[in-house]
Structure 1
């Protein structure tokens, strides 16, 4: 029995980046021998075990044979005769197909270190095309390492296009698409994930709502970048730059879906795109099984973001209705996430990244003022029953009117 450190731990050490987790491949052992040594089995599709002390994953070396469509269409084979080289050749990228033995000796049969130094993401073998998840994974790796100068090898991009054209990516499950997309959204430059998928044709198949935004013009006065798809990419990258949570990043991705439906004769204006985008956000989140908290915020931002941009012009009544729809008093954290997403929209524009955008603070002030008008103060003045709600609302409208009349700072 021998074990080897493999994959991301080797890659990131050579890149002098922090190693998040360490995975191992074990050769010359059976599942029974692993269990006898105290390893705990956890693998569902193939033998994976947790080390009794470190809890790090140790997988038995394996080979795969394609026997169906999609990423589940494989027969897995493990036995003590499967070598490390047999295991490494089935991996996706050369930079992920390196290993180290217990002495730290690098085992690199596919030139991964050379590709690391050249900043190239290249597939290991033709077997890359058998697993459609690899299209998503390489796009995600590209988003993670683009800032270091990495690019996708031409022959690998050509292979990705073939996988799309053959229909292989159509067999990806919603759960797997979302898992990779979620991880990509949390990268420092998530736009690279989506533009990479667009370059190989996968974005149109998997996320047509996002793909449809590219090429849709907007008024240059408000959007110097003009293209709605480019604006969306700038918006999610800004969300990443401020380390916004996943909910905000999903909302940033989805906020302008309705602009793809604007009739051509109305372009570059997009009147009513907020409401027309709601069904598209619903469809996107339902199809990819996006978590409910992300879905909820994305729908709110899609519906209401234009009102935030117009906040100073809103009447007290309209402002009150907006705060009520956002449930701003009872859900302050969600209200903050909503304002953050709208701020990302305002700054995700070429040359306007550092613009003055006071609207979120104006809405925060509005929330603070109505929060100070409490039901107890109304009942203390003798109001009863339904009259309490009427008077409470009138008093809150009054403080919003006073806020509106306050000169902007």
Structure 2
């Protein structure tokens, strides 16, 4: 194994936001409310407003006396994220939002509405320390971890957007809907902010009023391959989908494309993914950003199928992702004929492989692009 990388896995020591309702379990909220001298049942009232009604305006919490309402909102529902701007494309069905946190930190989320579902891509860190050279976020480095509540509030905000019918429905007209899927594929490496991400998953999936009530099976946690954390996640008793950003089946190239590979090789990552499959019985997704003349060769498609079949069996699916190039980058997407041949060979090798539907290239929807512009 090569020497350790000069990567930052722990975020720089910058202040997290003040405590928020979404940082706490329902039991902890009850304790916090009681510590403020309020009746314990106020915790459930606050929780219903935030998690069920998606409401953060104290003025609308009329079931709580005005004096108590203001105090509880100040102490347990501080504003976490301020919208800097939102941009839309795909006839309004894709909406990317740039958020500013309390300390000026910028982060992004992307809401995508499809005929049969609505998916939110969320950030778990501001920036990223994984240093993948083709990724806009990786180029900017890591600023800090997001708090549990900062992660959850991206989801609550998107759920409110869907409820209010801001995005167009199947007929192209604005219509109310429901946020159904959440993917941790925005800024940052989720498993490098492990404790807060797992807590956020529980808030997102716990039934109301404890959480937002989204199905665990509709949540995907992505990682570049932090093998010990993958194994730890497997033991959490969750039913979320694991997505591994592999990007190449050979260690020599992956050491360059995904520098964390210098710590945990492809074999180690796939062994951890197999452990996840064994513990959860859930299919693992393999993310593969196809880059022109870098990782799109036919022999790499054959090797990818072979290694995945040997390590993971048939509970695996490859998502080929046409690269969304960043301004000034030397990296570019593979031609469509090369993409089709790559997908064909992986499928022929016995592993299901499809091309992910890409959205938002014209609004800089690749992770980190909008924040970089600001």
TM-score class, shorter-chain normalisation, is: 0.3 to 0.5
Structure showing greater radius of gyration is 1
Higher helix share: 1
TM-score of the superposed pair, with normalisation by structure 2 = 0.32
TM-score of the superposed pair, with normalisation by structure 1 = 0.30
Higher strand share: 2
Q: Which has the higher contact order (CA 8 A, sep 6+)?
A: 2
